[in-house]
Structure formats: C-alpha cells, structure tokens
Amino acid sequence: MAIAARYASTATTPAATHEQMTRSFAPIAHYPSSQPPSHRKPEYRRSQLLRQYTSMIRTAPLMVFLQHDNLQSVEWTAIRRELAQAMRKVDEKIAAEGRSAPALAPHIKVQIVQTRIFEVALRIVEYFRPTTTAAAATPSAVDPVTPTSAEIPLDDAAFAHDLSRAAHDAVRPMRGKHELTPLLVGPIAVLTIPQVSPEHLKAALTILAPKIVGLPAPTRKANPGWHEVPVQNGLSKLSLIAARMDGQVMDVEQSKWVSSIEGGMDGLRSQLVTALQSIGSSITSTLEGAGKSLYFTLESRRSVLEEEQKGPEEKKDESA
C-alpha cells in the first residue's frame, strides 16, 4: 500500500519547465567577500610577514640594514631603549630651534626580518606595477558595499594585491636581481625612519655603530646608559652593512655623508639654494666679462682704424 502511494505521488509531480532547466545559478563562493583570491594563503605567517614588509618598505624612505650575531633579548631591549632616547633628544632639539617638523621618535623602530621574505617584498615594491584595471577590480575589505564573492570574477589576474598571482608572476623573473639581494645574507635587522632626516640618521648611527662611520661615541657623562654592559655586548654583535634612502642603496661612506648634513633637510635645501645662487652669479660675471672684453677689443680696433684713416696734415695738427 505504501509503495503504491509513493508511486502515485511521483506520478503526480509536474516536470521541470524549460526555463528552470536552462536558468544559470550563481557560482559557488571560493573565498569570503572581504578576502580576494590570493596566490599565497593569507592565513599563513609567511604571507602576513610579506604584507608587513611591503608596507614597511613603502612607508619608510630611510632604512638602515644591520647584521647581528644572535643578540639576547636583554641586549635588544637595552639597545632599543638607548635608540629611543637618542631619537627623542633629536626631536626636542628640532622643536627647540623652532622648526616645524613632526616628531619621528615614536615611529622609528629596529626589528629583525626574515631575509627571504624581505627580499620578495623588495622585489614586489620595486618591480610590480599593477594596472589601473586590475586595481579597480580589487574588492575593498572594509567597504560594506563590496559585492559578495559570488559576484566577483574568479580570474585571479583581475586582482593586484601583494599576495596575488599577478604580483607573484611579475617578480618571479627578477629573483636574485635586486641590488640588496647580495647583502641580505644571515641574520639581518632593519632600522626604519619614516622620513628622510639626516639628524635622526646621525643620532641612530652614533648609538648603533659609531666606530664604523667615524662618529664620536656618547660620553659616559652625557649618556651613561650607553656604556652599560648589555648595550656594549649587543653593539659588539652588530655591524652596519648598508642603507637605503628613497629607493637608492648607499654604502657606509654614503651613509656617513648623509648623516653629516647640518640642519637636516632644511639645511640641505639652503645649501642647494646657495649653490644655485653662486652658479647664477658666476654665469652672470662670466657673461659680463666676455661682453666687456669684446667691447674693449672693438674700441681698440676702432681707434686703430681711425688713426690709419687720418692724413699726414691731421697727424701734424694733433702733434702740435
């Protein structure tokens, strides 16, 4: 009886229409609406470090690279303490001189980096240039108006973030070709300064590597904390290898030259204005000298011609 009732209900079910059979359904969401597709899985620590390093490279125009030899946590803490104190002194000096410059001490940091991931981040920042179309197709992670993942195209090439396949394919042929790649060997620490400031660079090098750059070390009376045992033990394990300013790699001598600029960027601008003014005055004097020389030459030639054109009687009258 039950079998008969089941077959009877099946027989009375209407067949699907042509519209129902041909209607396309929304694609299955492969990723959440707040996360675009990535070549590297974003939940991995390596991916998070890559995003952190690319952000650091883009926002820090001045970077100093140091090689360290297994510093202990106590030594790192002491070095960071002395570095922060020196940076605050520079900010106070700039404020006392009346210059309108933001305080950089809270944003200057020194941290250990994973060299392989940092090298990939350097290549992404230097060589990856996403197109406008790809950037426009990237969904926003915080905008609630962003469409759901079912409505976003599933082509990974349409996305151009740092973890995308487009970034990976763009920088893969440049592996090992960045100018900083040969220096990123062994344990590396990076000092980041969010603004090109020769004064902060000089203060940092005075704390971290005064002997290497030839700067006078802090005296025991002015800075007794720098002479403590943890600081000295930590500094003996640090060595300056290079710096990077506005995308240009500098060696130790060039870093020393930048740190020797008096007055910071304002002093550099004043030196540039003075040099341009001196060049203009020298060009003006050169042109004036050439004109005067030509004038005297023509005048002397004119007087010679006038003498030649005078007759013997005129010459006698002049002599008389």
- Token reading at 308: 């030649």
Return mean pLDDT, the chain.
76
Taking the C-alpha atoms of 223, 229, 231 and 235 in order, what is their torsion angle to the nearest 10 degrees?
Answer: 120
User: Which band of pLDDT confidence, cut at 50, 70 and 90, is reported for residue 85?
Assistant: very high
Which has more confidence, 212 or 145? 212
CA–CA distance, 306 with 207 (Å, rounded to integer): 78
pTM of the model as a whole: 0.65
Buried b (16+ CB within 10 A) or exposed e, 175-199: eeebebeebbeeebbbbbbbebbbb
* Cβ 217 vs Cβ 211: under 8 Å: yes
Question: How far apart, in Å, are the Cα atoms of 142 and each of 131, 145, 146?
Answer: 22, 9, 8
For the stretch 13-72, pLDDT in tens is: 566 666 666 665 555 455 555 666 666 776 778 888 888 999 999 999 999 999 998 889
Domain 45-261, architecture per CATH: 2-Layer Sandwich (3.30)
Q: Domain segments of the chain: what residues?
A: 45-261, 268-309
